[in-house]
Amino acid sequence: MRAKLTIDRGNTAIKAAAWASDGSLLDTFKGDESLPAGALVEAMEKRVLGEGEHFSAISWCTVVASEHADDSSSLEGRSPRIVELTSSTPMPLTIAYRTPGTLGADRVAAALGAHHLTGGSRPLLVSDIGTAVTYDYVDGLCYVGGNIAPGIDLRLRALAAFTDALPAVSVQGGDLPLWGGTTAEAMRSGAVRGIAAELAYYHAAAGEGALAVLTGGSAELLVNENILTFDYIHDPYLVHKGLYSIIKDEN
């Protein structure tokens, strides 16, 4: 099987996706942040491939600089073709960010994934809603730039940590009314609906005809609450689809 593998190391987890030769998704795996990238490849080989087989190509990205050297060395020899996605990797998008060396590779991957999904026919607002939430603008073949803000959980934790009276509140398992009737509801709704409002602002700023493409661990919550008022695509595998797009033509 000429399968390919994509790996995304985030702040709290490392995730992998295996792809068939026709581009269909075979399997996914999410590991603890302490898992080396090479060990993740080995686990996916056992889940997807036959004995003695290896992935024909691997693409990967990381936002955790402290783990970069260990991940890179642990991936050596795991595949005939290993590509790390950075802002300087050959890709269909031009990067207009003024400091491309500081641009998170996951943001680039999400932009590539959104472009791959839509073909670049419309301006794109690409938002990855996780520990942090990113709002990135892609116009045709150009990644123009974007902004970074605290994610839902980070907002709630900051409120509890830096105020005297506000409690520790989880976004899970609670109501999200438009107007909170308790302090916990007010904090939870403020965090979630605040991001919804930011998304609406950036979607409007992206211009008429822009399409929002959402991903990240907290994106599903916004979708399920049905509080977004504009056109969007929700794809939990957006970063991996972007990573796959740069190796899809590898033999």
List active site positions.
106
Edge-to-edge strand list for the sheet holding 124-129? 94-95, 142-150, 132-139, 124-129, 211-215, 232-234
3-state secondary structure labels for all residues of 49-91: CCCCCCCCEEEEEECCHHHHHHHHHHHCCCCCCEEECCCCCCC
**Alpha carbon distances (Å) from 239 to 76, 100, 152, 214:** 22, 18, 19, 10
CA distance 242 to 59: 10
DSSP secondary structure letters along 4-15: EEEEEE-SSEEE
Contacts of 230 (CB under 8 A, 6+ apart): 199, 200, 203, 212
Instruction: Write out the two tokens for 42.
Output: 């080995």
**Alpha carbon distances (Å) from 25 to 3, 48, 199, 235, 238:** 10, 11, 28, 13, 12
The answer to whether 92 touches 115, Cβ cutoff 8 Å, is yes
